[in-house]
Structure 1
Amino acid sequence: AGFSIGMTYMQTFRRIIMPQAFRVSVPPLSNTFISLFKDTSLASVVTITELFRVAQQIANASYDFLPVYIEAGLIYWVFCFFLFIGQAKLEKRLDRYVAK
C-alpha cells in the first residue's frame, strides 16, 4: 500500500509497518519484563544487594520476620504497579497512534 502511493521503503516501514508491529509486540514484551522483574531481582544486576536478601538479614537480626517480609513484598508490588502503569500508557498511546 505504501509503495502504491509513492512512499519509499523507509517511509513505508516507519509509517505503516513499525506502528503495527509495536502495537502487537509491546504487550507481551512488557509482560515478560514485569515477570522478569518479579522472578529475579533486577537490582542485583546493578550490584545493589537484592531486596529480599536485605530483608532476610534484617529479620534474622531482629527475629521479627513477618513485618520485614511484608514491607519487602509491598516494595516489590509498588515497583511492579508502576511498571504496569507505564505499560498501560504505552499500549494506549500505540493504540491511538495506529488507529489514526
Structure 2
Amino acid sequence: MHDGVCSIAYGTIELFHRASKDYFNNCGLLRLDLRSDYEIKVYIIDILKLIIDKTYQLFECNMIATKALHTASERVKALKELNFSPTENKLIGHDGTEYSSYYLKKR
C-alpha cells in the first residue's frame, strides 16, 4: 500500500460496445475476470457498482450483458442483487459459435 492506493491486481475488466446481428446488438458487453479469492459476492458488487451507471452513457447502450455460469454462485448472487436477469438468448460469435449463460441489465 502506497499513499492509500493498492498496487495489487485482483483481476481485469473488459467493457465494450458490441455491434452484432444477434440479440446482444448495441449492448455494453462486460467481461470481469477476478482472482478466485475475490470471486465473492460483496467484492463483485463493489466493483460493478463503480462502472454500471457510467456504462450506459460511455458505450451508448441501453443494456449491459455479462457471462455467469450457474456454478459461479457468488457471481450469480451478485448479479441478481444488482438487478441483472438471466437470459436464454445466445450470444453469437463472429465464427457462428453460440455462447450461453449471460445475464442482462437494462437501463
What TM-score do you get using the length of structure 1 for normalisation? 0.25
Q: Which has the larger radius of gyration?
A: 1
Comparing both chains, which one has the higher relative contact order based on Cα–Cα distances under 8 Å and sequence gaps of 6 or more? Answer: 1
More helix by share: 1
